[in-house]
Structures are given as C-alpha cells and as structure tokens.
Chain A
Amino acid sequence: MSNQAEEDPMAKPTIAVEDLYNIRDTYFTANLDEKNSKLQKESDLALKLLDSVPPEQRKSPMQRATYEYLRGKILDVFPDYRKEAEDHLSKAVKLNPSLTDAWLCLGNCIWKKGDLSSAKNCFTLALSKGPNKKLLCQLSMLERKMAQGTENEAKLVEESIQHGREAITLDVKDGNSWYNLGNACLTSFFVTGAWDHSKLLQSLKAYQNAEKDERMKSNPDLYFNCATVNKYLENYERALSGFEAAALKDPGLNATDEVQKLVNLLDKLENMLRGHARAKRLASLVSLLDAVNLNSSYKRATIDLLSEGLNKAVAVVGKVLFFIKHESVAPIYYLVCDSNQICFVLSVYGIHNDAIKEGDQLTLLEPCYRYIDFSWKEKHYQFKSIRVDFLEQALVNGKAPAPRHAIRTSIYAQHKP
C-alpha cells in the first residue's frame, strides 16, 4: 500500500473518497441531519487530504484530471445538487475524456440538478468508450426515471431492462447489477398494468441473485424492494421479514409502516373471514351459484378442490360479499364465497375497483390458488386465497368486464441515484 502511495500521489485521497462513499451507502440513521453532518465531516477530511498533494504532483493533464475528478466526487457525496461539484467534474472529463468514473459522477451530479437528458448524454458518451457495468446500471436507472409519465413508458422501461441485462452479462456476480435489474422488472410490472405475474417473478429472482453478493447485505433498499415483490406475490411472511430487515438497516426507510400496513390488512382479512364463515345468510346468498352456466371448456370447481398455483381449464363461481378497504394501491381485495359456502380472499390486479361490486356473482377462470398459512409475532394467519391478474380471468354476473376497466398502476421501486 505504501509503495503504491509513493508512486501515485492520488492513492491516499482515492481511498479516502472510497471510504466517504462507503459511509454514504452503508451508514443509516433515523435522523438525516446526523448522516449529513457525518458526511460533511468526512468530506472535509477527504478534501484536506486531497489538497495536501503537492502542486507539482498534479501538473500534468492526467494528474489534474484525477485531482478535479476526486474533488468533484467528494463535493457530490451529498443528496442535493452542488454547482461546484459539477464544475470540477466537467473539468475532469475535459482534461481526460477517458476517465469513465468522472463521466459517471458528472452524470449523477447533473441528474440531481434535474437535467435528465444531459445526464443521459454523460452515460452514453462514456459507454461509447467501452462497456461498463456501473454506467449501464445508472443509465438503466435514469431511463426508468425519464420514462415516468411519458406516453411510451413501457417501451422506455424495456430499454432500462435491456441495459440492466447488459450490465449483468459483464459480471454475473455483481449484486448491484442484479438489484438494478430487479428494480427495472418491478417497475415494468407496474407500468404495464400490474398484472404480469412473470415480471414479479423475474424481479424476485434478480433480487435473490443480488443477495448472494456480500456487499449488498448493507443495502436496505434491496430488502425493502424484495419485500415489496413478495407482498405482491402474496408471500406475506417473507414480505414482513423483508420489511423488518429493511427497517433495522435503515430506520428512515418507513419500512416499519409497511409492516404495520400489512399486519393491518392480514388482521382485517382474518377478521372478515372469521366473521362471515358462520353467517346464517350465506346459504341464501350462494343458493343460485350452482345454476350458473359455464363454457364447456371449463370444469366447475369449488375452492376446496383447487390445487396450489394455476388451475388450468377450471372455473370457480362465487358471490362477492365485501370489498375490503386497505392502504395500498394494488391489489384490490374482496371477500368471496363459493357454492359450498366456503369463504376466501380474492385479490384482483389490473382491474378497476368499480368493475366488481359487493353482491356481484363472479366466475373466476383458471384461478391462481394459494393457501396462506403462517405465524407472525405469535399471531397465526390461515386463509384461502385466489388471485386474478387480468380482465379476461373474470366474468362479472356472467359478462366479461368492459375493456375500460383495465388499469395501469404506477408505483416505482425505491432506488437512489
């Protein structure tokens, strides 16, 4: 190490900058001011160390480029935009256009300013000099940001996924690249109407690969986003564990609120099921369900006959007892009862909540069935559940819902530049 420092005057400041960014990425407190003051203190020390490099050792264009880059990077460690940081980073890339990391930092700095297209130019320009996983991940993330609210949102998110994949091909063991791909797939799930189950599974798989990288163990967003996917996949126990882990790693992430919301929802589902399983009026409510005619390509079944997962060429007929209000945008939950008077939870994705109302008779085609059975904090949850992912899977009062009932839900995975 000392030999390297003697040869390269920028070696020590470079290590100091790495340490500074390590604090930014791994040190979390409930109080943001506390983190910012720690960053301020460490960045002051790093600047002091950088300025201690004798002027004669930063004379050549290459040395000056590195000096400007390190100075800009130190100043850009804070979450807000700093003009001074941009100036130094701009100087660095002018002096040495091959300094990839300087382009990366400059792009991030300009992104904070809100000039997204200029930030994208920085990333693409640097990538024209050769492939780089960090640049590809940032570009992928930026593309998702740029896609928000545009007409061709889904297409832009697909480009983001493509760049995410390219990053992984450069290093299949890099947890950050997998994490980025997981975020891209999760975003894609939402911008394409929040019904494509396979996108959630792709996202989950990417997060699981990210978790194999030891360096990602300190990333609370990974746990939070993975828990989000598990929530939508109705892997409730894993979701709760994930949110709890995220809350422990970063108290400022509001993951504790997510735990509480999910527990509230589960308690509500349990209570409603328990309250209506014994209701005397069930018999009269479901008496007409057996008379419902089914398309000959579907075999009629009640919920107790379903197998776990997708039930091909099967239809379940039920009566909607209640719409269950809760704190998340998706899915929509209903309490439904089949012809055997067995109540279950129906979770609906990609369909407007006015498409299905209390009292409606539902025919669920090729239902995806889950038996939920787990304990959390000494409370046991146990219920039957069917999920409907898109419009064509449900008939309401014998008719297919109108196409206008299909929805797009925009929820974005949490990620930081």
Chain B
Amino acid sequence: MKPFTTFVFLFTLCVAVLPPLIVAHPTNVTKLIRQACAHTAHKALCVDTLAADPISQGAANKTGLALVALRVASQNASDITELIKASVNDPSLAPAVQQGLSDCMDNYVDAAQQLDDSLAALLAGAHDDLSIWVNVAIADSDSCEKSIQGFKTEMSKENVKFRMLCENALAIAKAVAVAGN
C-alpha cells in the first residue's frame, strides 16, 4: 500500500470510529437555534451542531448558543489534534507528510487555545477580543492547510469543517454583540 493511501485509510478509520460530532435532530431545533443560525454562512452545519448539543436546548439566549458554538469549535480543534496524533508517527508515511501533519498538530493545539481565549472574551463581554482570537484560530487552520499542500490527505476536509465552525461561532457572537444578548 502506498504511503498516501495508507494515510487516507488510517485517517478514514479514525474518523469512522470517533463518535460523530454532528447528528441532526430536527425535533431538537428550537426557535432560538433557528434565529441564531440565520446569522451564519453555513446554516445547515450550524443547526446540526447546535441541535446535537444538549446545552443548546437549555440556552436562554444567543449568548448561550455562542458559547456552545465556540466550545464545539474548540472541541473540534482538540479532536483534530488527537486524530493527527494517532497517525503522525505512522512509519509508512512519507517524511514530508509526517512533517506537514506535525505542523498541523501544533497549529491545532494553538487553535484550541485561541478558542478557549475567545470563550473567556465572550464571558467578559469583550467582543473585539473574541473576534481577534477566533480569527487567529482560523489563521492557524490556514497555516495547517499550507503545511499539507500538495499531499492528498483527509486533513483538508477537516480544515474546511473547522473553518466553517469558527465562522459560524463568530457570526453568532457578532449577533450577540449587536443585539446585546
């Protein structure tokens, strides 16, 4: 089996055995979730993500949903880090791919940290800071994408999804900043 094929196989296997992040529960989609997701660019992902999170159901306002959206994005960054960790030392991978993945792992460790900072900023009502930290997390993901350019890996898909989760969280948080709840 070629190194690339091995990696794709391993990665797909890892993704398959991980508990699914998004399970659509149409019955759980509250009016508040629909309102919050209306502000986002990736509405279907937003609705699925928030509906799948039990905390969203009890959220009294958009701030609560913004917290959930940021937490989901942060968790996604941590999950990606774990995924990479599981496959980065695979000896069948080409050294360049290993290096690229290792860089990605560093990027996602940082991204998770930045999103934790953005959670703290949201709780403190510091919306400018929140915007900075989410954008830095997106930039970290972009750096990962650069590291693996030219290699056929599942990482690109993960990067796209992570970016979408961040953009959604940012959009909901912006709506909170404007409306004040």
Q: Mark B137-176, 1 if CB is under 8 A from A, else 0.
A: 0110001000000000000000000000000000000000
Which residues of B from 121 to 136 have beta carbons under 8 Å from A? 128-129, 131-132, 135-136
A197 shortest CB reach to chain B, Å: 15
B103 shortest CB reach to chain A, Å: 11
> Is A209 positioned at the interface, with any CB of B under 8 Å from its CB?
yes
Contacts of A173 in B (CB 8 A): 139
Kindly identify which residue among B117, B132, B139, B143 contacts A169, using a CB–CB cutoff of 8 Å.
B132
> Is A168 positioned at the interface, with any CB of B under 8 Å from its CB?
yes
> Is A144 positioned at the interface, with any CB of B under 8 Å from its CB?
no
Contacts of B131 in A (CB 8 A): 169
- Chain B: number of interface residues, binned into ranges: 10 to 19
Which residues of A from 55 to 76 have beta carbons under 8 Å from B? none
Given contacts A172-B135, A172-B136, A209-B136, contact A165 B143 (CB under 8 A): no
Q: Which residues of B contact A (CB under 8 A)?
A: 117, 128-129, 131-132, 135-136, 138-139, 143
> Is A212 positioned at the interface, with any CB of B under 8 Å from its CB?
yes
B16 shortest CB reach to chain A, Å: 33
Q: Mark A205-242, 1 if CB is under 8 A from B, else 0.
A: 10001001000000000000000000000000000000
* Majority DSSP secondary structure for residues of A touching B: helix
Which residues of A from 164 to 218 have beta carbons under 8 Å from B? 165, 168-169, 172-173, 205, 209, 212
Contact between A172 and B139, CB atoms less than 8 A apart: yes
Number of interface residues of A (CB under 8 A): 8
Can you spell out 6 A-B residue pairs with CB atoms less than 8 angstroms apart?
Answer: A169-B128, A169-B131, A169-B132, A172-B136, A172-B139, A209-B136
Contacts of B117 in A (CB 8 A): 205
Q: Which residues of A contact B (CB under 8 A)?
A: 165, 168-169, 172-173, 205, 209, 212
Taken together as a complex, chains A and B put the C-alpha atoms of A168 and B130 apart, in Å, by 12
Taken together as a complex, chains A and B put the C-alpha atoms of A165 and B121 apart, in Å, by 14
Taken together as a complex, chains A and B put the C-alpha atoms of A169 and B134 apart, in Å, by 11
A159 shortest CB reach to chain B, Å: 14
Taken together as a complex, chains A and B put the C-alpha atoms of A9 and B10 apart, in Å, by 57
> Nearest residue in B to A208 (C-beta to C-beta)?
B110
Contact between A172 and B132, CB atoms less than 8 A apart: yes
A210 shortest CB reach to chain B, Å: 12
> Nearest residue in A to B132 (C-beta to C-beta)?
A168
Taken together as a complex, chains A and B put the C-alpha atoms of A249 and B136 apart, in Å, by 28
> Nearest residue in A to B143 (C-beta to C-beta)?
A212
B161 shortest CB reach to chain A, Å: 20
Contacts of B132 in A (CB 8 A): 165, 168-169, 172
Taken together as a complex, chains A and B put the C-alpha atoms of A212 and B139 apart, in Å, by 10
**For B132, B135, B139, B143, which residue has the most chain A Cβ atoms within 10 angstroms?**
B132
Contacts of B128 in A (CB 8 A): 165, 169
Taken together as a complex, chains A and B put the C-alpha atoms of A366 and B131 apart, in Å, by 33
Taken together as a complex, chains A and B put the C-alpha atoms of A173 and B110 apart, in Å, by 14
Taken together as a complex, chains A and B put the C-alpha atoms of A287 and B175 apart, in Å, by 62
A213 shortest CB reach to chain B, Å: 10
> Nearest residue in A to B129 (C-beta to C-beta)?
A165
Contacts of A212 in B (CB 8 A): 143
Contacts of A205 in B (CB 8 A): 117
Taken together as a complex, chains A and B put the C-alpha atoms of A165 and B132 apart, in Å, by 8
Contacts of B129 in A (CB 8 A): 165
B135 shortest CB reach to chain A, Å: 4
Contacts of A168 in B (CB 8 A): 132
With contacts A165-B129, A168-B132, A173-B139 known, what are 14 further pairs, Cβ within 8 A? A165-B128, A165-B132, A169-B128, A169-B131, A169-B132, A169-B135, A172-B132, A172-B135, A172-B136, A172-B138, A172-B139, A205-B117, A209-B136, A212-B143
B118 shortest CB reach to chain A, Å: 12
Taken together as a complex, chains A and B put the C-alpha atoms of A165 and B130 apart, in Å, by 11
A398 shortest CB reach to chain B, Å: 36
